A and B are shown apart, each in its own frame.
Chain A
């Protein structure tokens, strides 16, 4: 124990060695110079580049996400708008169709009513004309009958029966 203690104090564990200091500093400086050029430069620049690349990738992803979200929002808006539009169009079309149908039916009814009315009027006119014609005919026939009666028999009784007969005949003809 004692010997090792003496060795520790004397034996050079802490003794200075200028040669070793010289070689250490020289070697270290040379290593520092070489490595700064050949190793640390490329490695550090690569690390820097990679961290920048990762940062830019993250940024890009963020902007892409935001863009996608805004596009999605816009799409949804457009979709809902288109839905509303379609609804509106359909409703309007239905309304229009209803209106058109109603109008058409009304018009048709009107037309038919008009046609019926005009037909009735025509019939009435025809009837009146026929009646006029008939009346003239009847008058003519009456005149002719009278003439005949007067010509053939001037029998009052007979005349009366003839006239009555003729009138009855006319009445049945008329109806």
Chain B
């Protein structure tokens, strides 16, 4: 039964996919038009009325051939106007301070929205937890936050950073929830993914970089930090090791930047591309059989990726901090201690 249905769908879809743009489809239409023209020749108004939408469609088609790429990029890139497609658009204010353009763009709006949502929900969770005692089971939003906070603190920060992980927790938690909300806001209609902008991810990675470097200096002191750069090798190798280690310090935040940005951008490009397949092929069948199911699948995947990438960014930040603050020899003991607590 199911096989039959699948073969029927394939029989419908494959010829459409193969021959939509060929002349075989266009020819009968062209043949038909003279007939209708001849038939309604007595009424001169009718053909022009029929021709007008056809012309408009043709114009749309010629535009559309260049458009998908532009449209996708337009959707993904930052913008100075916030478009609510059929209802109009809001022009966001342009600001300039000391020669720098600090306009409020679409992504800035999304960041603010995410920030407001994070603050409201997390504060609500915090206040409801403050009200209830530790012996009571948490409810609602407090429960959600508590489980996520517990996860970040016990499964991400503790094993990766080890001793003294508590002072990095506020940073890691904020990064996690901030990225998570930004990612999720990109998945709702009229939203935009701020974390799909390389500037945003670069800023967040820079914060991790600063935290990592400062904690490394605090943990080892200047001399220990310099020693760390030589990676404990023979002095003759320092001329190679030191540049590599310095480079290594910068590749970590760079990797964070690109990973988050690329992941969030890629998902949106895939979803939009799947939609544009049906526009390029101009077929409802493709839209129903290919674009929408696959787009839904990718959307669900994106929902997962939103959580995953927030987790990965937090986890790697914790890992980098842990690597930077690790004491030679003492680290294993801390790790044992941390794992022993589980």
| A13-B76, A28-B203, A47-B149 as given contacts; A20 in contact with B70, CB under 8 Å | no
Whether the pair B202, A21 counts as a contact (CB closer than 8 A) is yes
Contact A20–B129 (Cβ < 8 Å): no
CB distance from A145 to the nearest CB of B (A): 131
Could you tell me the distance between the alpha carbons of A13 and B75 in the complex, rounded to whole angstroms? Answer: 11
**Known contacts A4-B69, A4-B73, A40-B169; is-contact A28 B207 (Cβ 8 Å):** yes
Contact partner of B108 (CB less than 8 A), chosen from A14, A23, A41, A42, is A23
A50 CB within 8 Å of chain B: yes
Q: Which residues of A contact B127 (CB under 8 A)?
A: 38, 42
CB-CB nearest in chain B for A11: B73
Stretch touching chain B among A29-37, A80-88, A113-121: A29-37
Contacts of A12 in B (CB 8 A): 73, 77-78
B105 at the interface (CB under 8 A from A): yes
Contact B108 A20 (CB under 8 A): yes
CB of B336, distance to nearest CB on chain A (Å): 19
Provide the residues of chain B in CB contact with A31, threshold 8 Å. 115, 118-119, 174, 178
Mostly, the A contact residues are: helix
* Cβ–Cβ contact B95 & A19, under 8 A: yes
> Which residue of chain B has its CB nearest to the CB of A20?
B199
- Do the beta carbons of A36 and B198 come within 8 Å of each other? no
CA distance A34 to B119 in the complex (A): 7
- Over the window 150-187 of chain B, the binary record of Cβ atoms lying under 8 Å from chain A Cβ atoms (1 yes, 0 no) is 10010000000000001001110110011000000000
Interface string of A7-28 (1 = CB under 8 A from B): 1000111101111111111011
Measured CA separation A19–B174 after assembly (Å): 22
CA distance A127 to B119 in the complex (A): 134
Work out how many contacts link A and B, with CB atoms closer than 8 A: 140
Q: Which residues of B contact A24 (CB under 8 A)?
A: 108, 111, 194, 199-200, 203-204
Which residue of chain B is the closest to A25 with respect to CB atoms? B203
* A residues in contact with B177, CB < 8 Å: 35
Complex alpha-carbon distance, A4 and B150, angstroms: 43
Contact indicator B126/A43 (Cβ below 8 Å): yes
* B77 touching A11, Cβ below 8 Å: yes
Tell yes or no: A167 within 8 A of B by CB. Answer: no
Say yes or no: B129 contacts A43, CB within 8 Å: yes
A47 to B150, CA, bound (A): 7
Do A19 and B171 contact each other (CB < 8 Å), given the known contacts A14-B198, A43-B146? no
Q: Give the distance to chain A from B262, nearest Cβ to Cβ, in Å.
A: 10
Q: Is A39 an interface residue (CB 8 A)?
A: yes
* Docked-complex contact B103 and A40, CB < 8 angstroms: no
Residues of A38-56 whose CB lies within 8 A of B: 38-44, 46-47, 49-50, 53
Whether A13 and B170, one on each chain, are in contact in the complex, defined by CB atoms closer than 8 angstroms, is: no
- B134 to chain A: which residues have CB within 8 Å? 46, 49-50, 53
Q: Which residues on the A side are within 8 Å of B122 (C-beta)?
A: 35, 38-40
Question: At the interface, yes or no: B123 with Cβ under 8 Å from chain A?
Answer: yes
Which residues on A sit within 8 Å (CB–CB) of B178? 28, 31
Instruction: Judge if A152 is at the interface, Cβ distance under 8 Å.
Output: no
A43 to B174, CA, bound (A): 13
* In the assembled complex, A173 has its CB within 8 A of some CB on chain B: no
The complex places the Cα of A36 from the Cα of B177 at a distance, in Å, of 12
For B174, the chain A residues whose CB sits under 8 A away are: 28, 31-32, 35-36, 40
Pair B265/A21 contact, Cβ less than 8 Å: no
On chain B, the residues within 8 Å of A19 by CB distance are 95, 100-103, 105, 108
B66 adjacent to chain A (CB < 8 Å): yes
Enumerate chain B residues within 8 angstroms of A11, measured Cβ to Cβ.
73, 77
Whether B265 contacts A38 by the Cβ 8 Å rule is: no
Instruction: Determine whether A3 belongs to the interface, using a CB cutoff of 8 Å to chain B.
Output: yes
Q: B-facing mask of A71-111, CB < 8 A → 1, else 0?
A: 00000000000000000000000000000000000000000
| Beta-carbon contact of A7 and B129 below 8 Å | no
Interfacial residues, chain A to chain B (CB-CB below 8 A): 3-4, 7, 11-14, 16-25, 27-28, 30-32, 34-36, 38-44, 46-47, 49-50, 53
Known: A7-B70, A24-B203, A34-B123. 14 other contacts (CB 8 A): A16-B199, A17-B101, A18-B101, A19-B95, A20-B78, A20-B199, A22-B100, A31-B178, A39-B122, A40-B174, A42-B129, A47-B153, A53-B134, A53-B135
Please give the residue numbers on chain B whose beta carbons come within 8 Å of chain A beta carbons, in ascending order. 66, 69-70, 72-73, 76-78, 95, 100-105, 107-108, 111-112, 115, 118-119, 122-123, 125-127, 129-130, 134-135, 145-146, 149-150, 153, 166, 169-171, 173-174, 177-178, 194, 197-200, 202-204, 206-207, 265
> Can you list 16 A-B pairs with a CB-CB distance of less than 8 A?
A13-B265, A19-B101, A20-B105, A22-B100, A23-B104, A24-B194, A25-B203, A28-B203, A32-B170, A39-B125, A42-B127, A43-B149, A46-B134, A50-B135, A53-B134, A53-B135
